[in-house]
Amino acid sequence: MVMVTDNRVSLGTIGSEMRIFKPIGRRLARLRRGEEGQAMVEAAIVLPLMTFIVVGTIQLLQIQQAKVLTEYAAYQATRTGIVHNGDRKPMLNAALVAVLPSLGATDSLAGKRDPFRNRRRPGLLQTWVRAKALLALTGLAQCGVASLHGWLNGFGLPIPNFTPRAGLVNIEITNPRPADLPQRELDFDCIDGLCQGVPAAEARRINRLAIRLRYNYWMRIPFAANLIHDAWIATVFGQKYENRLSPVHNERELQVAPPRNLTIQENVEFAVLRFLADRGYHFIPLETTYAMQMQSNLYRYHLARACP
């Protein structure tokens, strides 16, 4: 062993210290690898949960946006109805324009290039054409069922309504009803006395157009749309839909709560929603109401028609 004095380091001392620190270094390396493995396990647990929270929040915000647009659509549809004699066709068009931002891009007229996907993004015209086509197709199907229901009721049998509100946008006029109108046309500006045999106060009530608007909003974010749709089905219809968070689904548990007595119309709507959801199209109905005083005479045949 060589010893060096005069403030010089001993080589033997260095060798002994190195023998001491080597096991400590190996332990630190093992500890570091263990911490990396623990971090990977924690990330595998936390990341899916955080991803679901993020995408779920985005989907809920989009539903809230669609709800606001639905309320605006009800206002626009009612405003159109009071000046077009309660005609459903222009009312549906006005409502469709109001909800258009939730159906596609509307920030340009004919579309523009998307820098993130390196392709052209649709614009207002393309979104309107697709929405109008979808409204027409769903409207034809719904009107066909409504016509069938009216034809069956024509035999004098009290058949409950089974027409599903499956159109993209549905408008139901809740006030007035066809039976409320007198035989002659009722003036919208009747303010006193009698109007076609109807007292002025009653005439003002009849001339108040009230609608219930239903917008079937299409949720498009994967996974989040599935869970939100299942939760909505369970809450509204009292039915246990397939729970994708559970690895084992007990088919005998068909209900999450005692369901209320559903009407024939609601049972048909539930079947339609499940049929679409099984094929990856998750719709959630958003409903709102609005009322406004008429500014034109309300035509009886507009109230009596089941289809626009």
Mind listing the pLDDT tens digit for each residue in 235-244? 776 655 544 4
Rounded-to-integer distance, Cα 260 and Cα 231, Å: 16
Asked whether residue 2 is domain-assigned, the answer is: no
Higher-confidence residue of 108 and 89: namely: 89
Higher-confidence residue of 36 and 289: namely: 289
Asked whether residue 8 is domain-assigned, the answer is: no
Asked whether residue 112 is domain-assigned, the answer is: yes
Residue 160, pLDDT score = 86
87, 171 in Cβ contact below 8 A?
no
Average predicted confidence (pLDDT) for the chain: 79
| H helices present in 239-281, as ranges | 264-278
Residue 56, pLDDT score = 85
Residue 247, pLDDT score = 40
Rounded-to-integer distance, Cα 221 and Cα 291, Å: 34
Residue 219, pLDDT score = 92
Q: Which residue has the tokens 């939760």?
A: 231
Rounded-to-integer distance, Cα 140 and Cα 130, Å: 15
User: Phi and psi at residue 289, in whole multiples of 5°?
Assistant: -125, 160
Flag whether pLDDT at 115 surpasses 60.
yes
Asked whether residue 10 is domain-assigned, the answer is: no
Asked whether residue 179 is domain-assigned, the answer is: yes
Flag whether pLDDT at 132 surpasses 80.
yes
Residue 12, pLDDT score = 52
How buried is residue 237: exposed, middle or buried, by Cβ count under 10 Å (0-12/13-18/19+)?
buried
Asked whether residue 5 is domain-assigned, the answer is: no
Asked whether residue 3 is domain-assigned, the answer is: no
- The set of residues, in sequence order, having a beta carbon less than 8 Å from that of 98 and lying 6+ positions away, is 69, 72, 73, 75, 76, 77
223, 55 in Cβ contact below 8 A?
yes
Rounded-to-integer distance, Cα 300 and Cα 196, Å: 14
pLDDT band at 218 (very low <50, low <70, confident <90, very high): very high
Number of folded domains that form the chain = 1
Asked whether residue 258 is domain-assigned, the answer is: yes
The two three-digit tokens of residue 123, written as one number: 């614009």
229, 282 in Cβ contact below 8 A?
yes
Flag whether pLDDT at 253 surpasses 60.
no
pLDDT band at 36 (very low <50, low <70, confident <90, very high): low
The mean pLDDT value for 49-65 works out to 87
Nearest in space to 105 (alpha carbons), one of 74, 68, 130: 130
- Alpha-carbon Rg for the chain, nearest whole angstrom, is 33
User: Domain range for residue 70?
Assistant: 15-304
